[in-house]
């Protein structure tokens, strides 16, 4: 019979890593299932609002997460994203492409993924000039002209990063005005390398072997083409919750949780960006991970599972 863990944590971003730290300190028998360590935090540029660091890059913070969690010598199954979550007589089983794992409780901290444009050329030019991560791929476009698609904080962050080494950065925003934080909007607007195109909808991505242009449509200019070598899609995120059909989710696919991170199923908890918690911030995800782990410990003790 396979091992029954006290806790399975799905995801190793800020929420999952923090949950694991708290669970390890409670001496729970746990396992972490994740695609990677760091989650969306690893994609961020400079982070200036994470307590304890005046400024730190996303990749640097992900390394800190990795170093911290590995001190506990926990079983971490990387490149094992959850496919399904089932329940049988109070025991939960998570299936991944590589195996099945069972536990008395689960914390879902699987985060979100980039939303796609769903326009012609997107799939054809993915990783051929079209990408969803400025932090990861931006340096490959040094000295080139690029387009950032979107108008919120993630798009603004990408534009600020890219303006450091690209010759020109276009922001293609389908609303009338940029969103995001005022301090970030100011940086973008004042940057001579950045041009903002508001009220413009991306119609297709053009090119032969690689991206060569973006075709957009706007009320002012009609249909036009913007010649670029790179396209960075930053139009929001979708929760990685498809496997979690056991629990209640909202219309956006976010897992519904109460103030203690409990879901609609006793024994299943959720934390971070995969939930309906209002603000999607690294520090908030970390705090929610801590809450979820403490709630799990209480649940296990109360129900005689420890």
Beta bridge partners of 196: 171
The domain made up of 116-233 is a member of CATH 3.50.50.60? yes
Q: Which residue has the tokens 């998570």?
A: 94
Is the pLDDT higher at 244 or at 46?
A: 244
Q: Are strands 7-10 and 106-108 parallel, antiparallel or unpaired?
A: parallel
Give the per-residue pLDDT at 44.
Answer: 75
Note whether 149 and 235 are within 8 A (CB): yes
pLDDT, the chain, mean: 94
Boundaries of every domain in the chain = 4-113+237-302, 116-233
H or E element: which one contains 19? helix 14-25
Indicate left, alpha or beta for 301 from its phi (over 0: left) and psi (-120 to 50: alpha): alpha
How many CB atoms are closer than 10 A to CB 162? 27
* 244 has pLDDT over 70: yes
Give the per-residue pLDDT at 2.
Answer: 65
Entry pTM: 0.82
Which CATH class for the 4-113+237-302 domain? Answer: alpha beta
Determine the average pLDDT of the residues in 99-123: 96
Q: What is the pLDDT of residues 179-213, one digit of tens each?
A: 999 999 999 999 999 999 999 999 999 999 999 99
Q: What is the pLDDT of residues 130-180, one digit of tens each?
A: 999 887 788 989 999 999 999 999 899 999 999 999 999 999 999 999 999
**Residue 254 to residue 85: CA distance in whole angstroms:** 16
Given pLDDT bands bounded at 50, 70 and 90, which one contains residue 57? confident
């Amino acid at each position: 019979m396979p091992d029954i863990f006290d806790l399975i944590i799905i995801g190793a971003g800020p929420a999952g890593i923090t949950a694991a730290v708290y669970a390890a300190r409670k001496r729970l028998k746990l396992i972490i299932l994740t695609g990677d360590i760091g989650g969306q935090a690893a994609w961020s540029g400079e982070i200036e609002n994470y307590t304890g660091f005046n400024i730190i890059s996303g990749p640097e913070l992900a390394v800190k997460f990795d170093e911290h969690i590995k001190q506990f010598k926990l079983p971490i199954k990387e490149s094992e994203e959850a496919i399904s979550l089932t329940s049988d007589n109070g025991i939960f089983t998570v299936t991944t492409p590589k195996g099945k794992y069972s536990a008395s409780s689960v914390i879902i901290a699987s985060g979100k993924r980039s939303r796609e444009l769903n326009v012609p050329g997107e799939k054809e030019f993915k990783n051929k000039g079209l990408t969803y991560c400025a932090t990861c791929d931006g340096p490959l476009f040094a000295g080139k002209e690029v387009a950032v698609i979107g108008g919120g904080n993630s798009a603004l962050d990408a534009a600020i990063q890219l303006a450091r080494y690209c010759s020109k950065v276009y922001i293609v925003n389908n609303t009338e005005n940029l969103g995001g934080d005022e301090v970030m909007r100011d940086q973008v607007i004042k940057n001579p390398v950045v041009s903002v195109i508001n009220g413009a909808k991306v119609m297709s991505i053009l090119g032969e072997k690689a991206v060569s242009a973006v075709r957009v449509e706007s009320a002012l200019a009609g249909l036009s083409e913007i010649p670029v070598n790179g396209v960075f899609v930053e139009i929001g995120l979708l929760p990685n919750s498809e496997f979690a059909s056991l629990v209640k989710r909202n219309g956006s696919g976010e897992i519904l949780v109460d103030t203690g991170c409990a879901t609609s199923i006793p024994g299943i908890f959720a934390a971070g960006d995969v939930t309906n918690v209002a603000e999607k911030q690294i520090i908030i995800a970390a705090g929610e991970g801590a809450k979820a782990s403490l709630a799990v410990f209480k649940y296990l003790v109360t129900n005689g599972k420890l």
